[in-house]
Amino acid sequence: MLSGTASIDLLAARVPTMASVAAPPLELATADVLQAMYETETETRQSLLPPGLHPTDPPIVNWLFYRCTTSPWGPFAMAQTRIECRSGVRLRAFLVAAVVDNAAAAQALQCDWGFTVRAGEVSLQRYYDTTHARVVVDGCTTLELTIADPEPLAASDVQYVPNMNLARTPNGLRLVQVEPRYQITRAERGRPLVRIFDRSIWGVPELRPIHPVSASLVAADVTVPSIRFLCRPDLWAFEGTEKV
């Protein structure tokens, strides 16, 4: 089985610190959730992941957007860049970084859930024939996606894999498993097109999206349960998983 080869020290240089892993469940009602997936170059699939995670075949990057009208911190939007992977045999997504447009939400997501977060502008605009998603950091557009030709889906046809967020925890440097649940009320799929992806700003200059795979847009109530598992980034999940 292939394993990641990224330097844990380099990955750890920009991750947040969590004082506790005992945050209560988080409720994000009436959210719009967009995900776009692209295949990436095979040559870099191991170098993007720590040794405790395994690349998929083909390697996949996904961008996951939330636009939340209700949260403990008021409305906010978040965009994530994630590398699909496996932890043991289970499909997961390793968080590269997230951009959040609400300072209080960003602080809580870092401290309570281990998200590596930057401040920025995140927009998600839905029209009858397309959806446009855009991320701006320090005045520069770092990500711009278009999802075209939407078609309805059944709610059961959509699945979003849990995050593995690298963070410093009371147990040490760990992959924090964050497992949102989605109560979907409307679902669509479409054709993704990446117009802009500034790889350096996101911290992955070697990542090259090459082929579109799929995209979905749903309306859902999102629940983030309390953290159940931590994993050591240097060991396979079979050896390095810790129950919270």
DSSP 37-76: EEEE-GGGTTTTS-TTSEE-SS-EEEEEEEEES--TT-SE
Burial of 146 (0-12, 13-18, 19+ CB in 10 A): middle
Strands (E), the chain: 26-40, 54-55, 60-68, 76-87, 90-100, 117-119, 121-126, 130-137, 140-152, 163-169, 172-178, 181-197, 209-224, 229-231, 241-243
Which one-letter DSSP state was computed for residue 157? G
Distances (CA, A) of 151 to 35, 188, 215: 15, 5, 11
Q: What is the pTM of this model?
A: 0.96
User: Does residue 1 belong to any structural domain of this protein?
Assistant: no
Q: What is the pLDDT of residue 85?
A: 98
Domain of residue 183 covers 8-243
- Tell me how far apart the alpha carbons of residues 102 and 117 are, in angstroms, rounded to a whole number: 11
Distances (CA, A) of 29 to 67, 196, 213, 224: 10, 30, 28, 11
Tokens representing 63 are 């961008």
Q: What is the pLDDT of residue 1?
A: 82
Q: What is the pLDDT of residue 111?
A: 97
User: Does residue 13 belong to any structural domain of this protein?
Assistant: yes
- Tell me how far apart the alpha carbons of residues 241 and 226 are, in angstroms, rounded to a whole number: 16
3-class secondary structure, 240: helix
Phi, psi of 58 (to 5 degrees): -75, 160
Q: What is the pLDDT of residue 128?
A: 87
Residue pair 214/228 in contact (Cβ under 8 Å)? The answer is no
Distances (CA, A) of 57 to 75, 145, 164: 37, 24, 18
Instruction: Identify which of 123, 141, 118 has the alpha carbon closest to the alpha carbon of residue 133.
Output: 123
Residuewise pLDDT in 10s, the chain (244 residues):
899 999 999 999 999 999 999 999 999 999 999 999 999 999 999 999 999 999 999 999 999 999 999 999 999 999 999 999 999 999 999 999 999 999 999 999 999 999 999 999 999 999 989 999 999 999 999 999 999 999 999 999 999 999 999 999 999 999 999 999 999 999 999 999 999 999 999 999 999 999 999 999 999 999 999 999 999 999 999 999 999 9
3-class secondary structure, 159: coil
What is the radius of gyration, based on Cα positions, of the chain?
17
What's the total number of domains in the chain?
A: 1
User: Does residue 148 belong to any structural domain of this protein?
Assistant: yes
Tokens representing 130 are 């397309």
Instruction: Check which CATH number belongs to the domain holding 213 and give it.
Output: 2.40.400.10
